[in-house]
Structure 1
Amino acid sequence: MLHALCIGLGGDPCDERQLCYVYEPRLKAFPTLALTLGLTDDAGFLHDERVGIDFSRMLHGQTGLRWHKPLAAAGEVTSRFAIEGLSDRGVLKGSLLRFSRTLRDRATGDLLVTETGVYMLRGNGGFSSGLDAGEPSMAPVPIPAGPRSQCMELDTLPQSALLYRLAAGDRTGLHASPALARQSGFERPVLQGGCSFGVTAHGLVAMLCDYEGDRLRAMDARFTAPVFPGERLRVEVWRQGPRSAAFRTTSLPRGVVVLDNGTCEFEAP
């Protein structure tokens, strides 16, 4: 429920379609809850100081989710995390780490979710002595040139980053400490990429699935600019068929695209 509240569900307390994600009698898990599950199972090694990742300067570069089965409102999962590639862009630009992760039902072993993504390690570059493991970022899908099909505006809360820290177990100071945010080059704490992705998914599920989250089958996007807590976001959709769409998300106060080259798949009603 905390994850759902972080991404704006329940914003209309009289909308029964949203209440099922934030109220116990008919409780359902929203699809992007997957981003917060099982993170300590085998990705915890990234936080080992011997690995040397500067988490104060790490940002999401790209995230993709594919749901093989709906998430249950209760249960246990196991996570398997793998590093798929590492690209050194130099001391000034840092490096890109491409990863994959799977979530399985602990009891049955059934595959629930596959996650792919890229982390931007802005404080970790210049380690390869000119050798490059290859560009790990995934090729972007261009937004269609024609007029959009739908759009929806959603508000984030001034305390959204603080709440999402609790929902995701994220203790990175960049999202809570003004001083650490300034050290990382931001005027104030920024919203977690997972929360921005979740707010966007909220918009997609509302527009394309009538708030039936289990109909969302896949979603992928690039993070192109940070979101600051409290900003209003506009999610724009270009339908590309009965079961697919392109999307992007814009910060309205700054007029900046924050998620771009988005694609999603969903089940028809």
Structure 2
Amino acid sequence: MGELDLSKTEIGPFSWSYSERDTILYALGVGCHREEQRYVFEGHSDFAALPTLAVIPPYHDVLASVPLQDVLPKYNPAMLLHGEQYLEMKAPLKASGRLLTSARVLEVQDKGKAAVVVIHTTSKCADSGEVVAENEITSFMRGAGGFGQQRRAQRQPAAVAPNKPPQRKPDAVVEERTSEDQAALYRLSGDYNPLHIDPEFAGIAGFDRPILHGLCTFGIAAKHVLKAFAQGDPEALKSIKARFAKHVFPGETLRTEMWQDSPTKVIFQTRVVERDELALTFAAVELATPAGQAKSRL
């Protein structure tokens, strides 16, 4: 079995300019309410971006331009499933600005009938060149395996940690009902997959109605962890990783169950209350400061 040359998959940078309006739109998309003025009112003295806004730049031309056909002979974008997401913040995300995002295929695994691909993206501040955030996006490609080659990479330990919840009651629980219009609102931040808005397309994919974006659930869960362990301080999030285990329908209730694993690590899982199914698993947040020592509130 050979090893793939992934150097030709490197692309970018792609420019993405975002305004205070985009920052507010994202916050509303992950369920922030008018009371959470810091994230929904540009006139607030501590107006800020939720750190998980940093998952959005790759959806502005970047991911669609990664030449997956160069490493997967049977690549079919319709057969792609978003499996896991890892986000690491390298610097605070400004409430508005311009980011330059580059991408490369980091890892490819041949699973026989399917393939697993990890895409790494780096977003830098266009003005200073400072790295703001890095994403690792793991996708499961149905029907794309059997090519006989693969490439493993040395990944960040937090990106591959199993994050098994302890055998005790959660240290904190936050519950939030999503809106029937949650997906319709979230998609305006950049992920326009019709699976999340078109009933006919959702039916073809095997769902009786459109489903919520996994990254919307991801953002909601991050907000819950920051609320419970960091007084809502957006700069407290160092990294977050989760596996997308089950779909969520807009209007369902999400319950994030959290365990403090160390002073700076919180293991969590997010459950769909109505169906008692886990939507996010193998999940954790690394905090920049020990839990309870953050400086701000929602």
SS at match of 1:157: coil
Counterpart position of 2:249:
228
Counterpart position of 1:208:
229
Deviation sequence 1:205-226 (CA, Å, 0-9, x none): 1111111111111111111111
Question: In structure 2, how many angstroms separate the alpha carbons of the residues matched to 1:98 and 1:143?
Answer: 25
Question: In structure 1, how many angstroms separate the alpha carbons of the residues matched to 2:69 and 2:209?
Answer: 26
SS at match of 2:31: coil
Q: Report 1:26-175 matches (<5 A).
A: 26=44, 27-40=47-60, 42-46=62-66, 53-91=75-113, 94-122=114-142, 124-128=143-147, 131-133=148-150, 138=160, 140-167=162-189, 169-175=190-196
- Gap change, CA 1:139 and 1:69, over 3 Å in 2: closer
SS at match of 1:78: strand
- Gap change, CA 1:102 and 1:67, over 3 Å in 2: same
CA RMSD of aligned residues (A): 2.3
SS at match of 1:248: strand
Percent identity reads 28
- Gap change, CA 1:134 and 1:110, over 3 Å in 2: closer
Deviation sequence 1:157-192 (CA, Å, 0-9, x none): 11111111111x222111111111121122221111
Deviation sequence 1:62-111 (CA, Å, 0-9, x none): 111111111001110111111112233344xx322111111110111101
* Residue among 28, 43, 50 paired with 1:25: 43
1:47: Cα distance to partner?
8.3
- Gap change, CA 1:170 and 1:47, over 3 Å in 2: farther
1:252: Cα distance to partner?
0.4
Equivalent residues of 1:56, 1:172 under 8 A apart: no
Counterpart position of 1:190:
211
Unmatched runs of 5 consecutive residues or more in structure 1 = none
SS at match of 1:43: helix
Counterpart position of 1:250:
271
Question: In structure 2, how many angstroms separate the alpha carbons of the residues matched to 1:48 and 1:217?
Answer: 29
- Gap change, CA 1:264 and 1:87, over 3 Å in 2: same
Question: In structure 1, how many angstroms separate the alpha carbons of the residues matched to 2:179 and 2:90?
Answer: 31
SS at match of 1:20: helix
Query: Aligned residue pairs: how many?
Result: 258
